[in-house]
Structure 1
Amino acid sequence: MSRSWERKVRKNMGKLNKDRKKHGAGQIVLNAEKKDKFTGRNFVLPSLLIVFVLFYIIVFSTSPDFKSDGMFWLTIGCYFALAALFFFRRPYLTIGKDYVQSRRMMGDRRLGAKDIKSIRVQKGYVTILPQKGAGWMFSRTLNRFKTDEMADKLKTFAATYNIPFEQQ
């Protein structure tokens, strides 16, 4: 099929789904790809930021030269906003047909099956090692991921694409 035809189909499907949503009907998905998404919750970094802000407030407010100006409260507000951003941007791992995708510090990253060197699973931890760069670690204790379910899905993914899978 030509790309213009695919764009027309996608555009018309979007209009149709919008109309169906207005009328309370379910959406139609054309050639939907089956993917598994595992979400966690980041609470360690926001907690550390809030502790840092409280320490900042205590240290500066006990100083004899302390003046409560707008810049001080703007700094406090920015740190709280940063903590909220890290808390509400949930980390995830999506296992698609021939890729894995996750939110890294600098945005969403996708690894194709050919870009994965190996997958390691330990109790409470899942690590995906790419060909280049640092490994992707998903932890039950730090980010509240369901690592047992992730390990099962990644095991079938690794078997499909002949990726070395280590379980310790």
Structure 2
Amino acid sequence: MSRSWQRKVQKNQTQINKQRKKHGQAPLMSAKSEKASMDTFKGRSYLMPAFLLLFILFYVIVTTTSDSFKPDDTMFWVTIGLYVVLAGTFTLRRPYLSVGRDFVRSRRFAGDRDVNISNVKGITAQKGYVIIEQHKGGNWVFSRVMNRYPTEQIAVRLKAFAEQHGIPYTEK
């Protein structure tokens, strides 16, 4: 289903539930119960913040040892502060993988992305890695080393997901 269709369904469902509540009837299945049926696996991003902090350190060393450096330069400190904020944002904004009824959702650089079962070509699991192969777009790689994902638990859940929808699943 497209996202706009899901929004229309959810909007209509909330209106009907309000009417049913006024008449003393039980509400229809809500979007909250759909979210409860999703399994979410969270990782921890530490490589990108570490890279940014090393970059800041390199920038400070190169800039302060330069002959043309002025210690009262405001843009220098603003730049350092913004890189620290960016590193903090990457640290606090944890990557995740959610497995729903008929889709898989993950956080990418541009935001949250969904992959429906019609776009999943196959799922590959190996020690420390889980790869979701797509027909269109790049493969999604969930790594124990890069983002501290619980890959063993993800592999078990995605195996059940693949069997449920007839998606090829391989273990290496």
What residue number does 1:43 align with?
Answer: 46
C-alpha displacement of 1:76: 0.5
2:160 to 151, 156, 163: 156
The percent of aligned pairs where both chains have the same amino acid is 44
CA-CA distance at 1:8 after TM superposition = 2.1
8 A contact 2:17–2:28 mirrored in 1: no
Which residue of structure 2 aligns with residue 23 of structure 1?
none
Whole-Å separation in 2 of the counterparts to 1:78 and 1:87 = 14
Aligned with residue 8 of structure 1, among 12, 15, 36: 15
CA root-mean-square deviation: 2.2
> Which stretches of structure 1, 4 residues or more, deviate above 3 A after TM superposition?
2-5, 9-13, 28-31
Distance 2:152 2:28 in 1: 30
**C-alpha displacement of 1:7:** 2.4
Counterpart in the other structure of 1:19 = none
Residue 11 of structure 1 and its aligned partner are, at CA, apart by 5.9
Aligned length: 153
For residues 65 and 10 of structure 1, the distance between their equivalents in structure 2, rounded to whole angstroms, comes to 67
SS in 2 for 1:148: helix
Residue 132 of structure 1 aligns to a residue in which SS?
coil
**2:81 counterpart (55, 77, 96):** 77
User: Structure 2 vs 1, CA of residues 58 and 12 (structure 1 numbering), >3 Å: closer, same or farther?
Assistant: farther
Amino acid in the other structure paired with 1:66? F
What is the 5 A alignment of 1:62-141? Answer: 62-68=65-71, 69-141=73-145
Indicate whether 1:56 and 2:59 are aligned.
yes
Q: Distance in 2 between matches of 1:122 and 1:50?
A: 31
2:42 and 2:149 in contact (8 A); partners too: yes
Q: State TM-score, norm by structure 1.
A: 0.84
Whole-angstrom CA distance in 2 between matches of 1:49 and 1:57: 12
The verdict on how the C-alpha distance between 1:117 and 1:30 changes in structure 2, with shifts beyond 3 A counting, is same
1:154–1:144 Cα change, 3 Å: same
Amino acid at match of 2:123: I
Unaligned 5+ segments in structure 2 are 1-7, 21-26
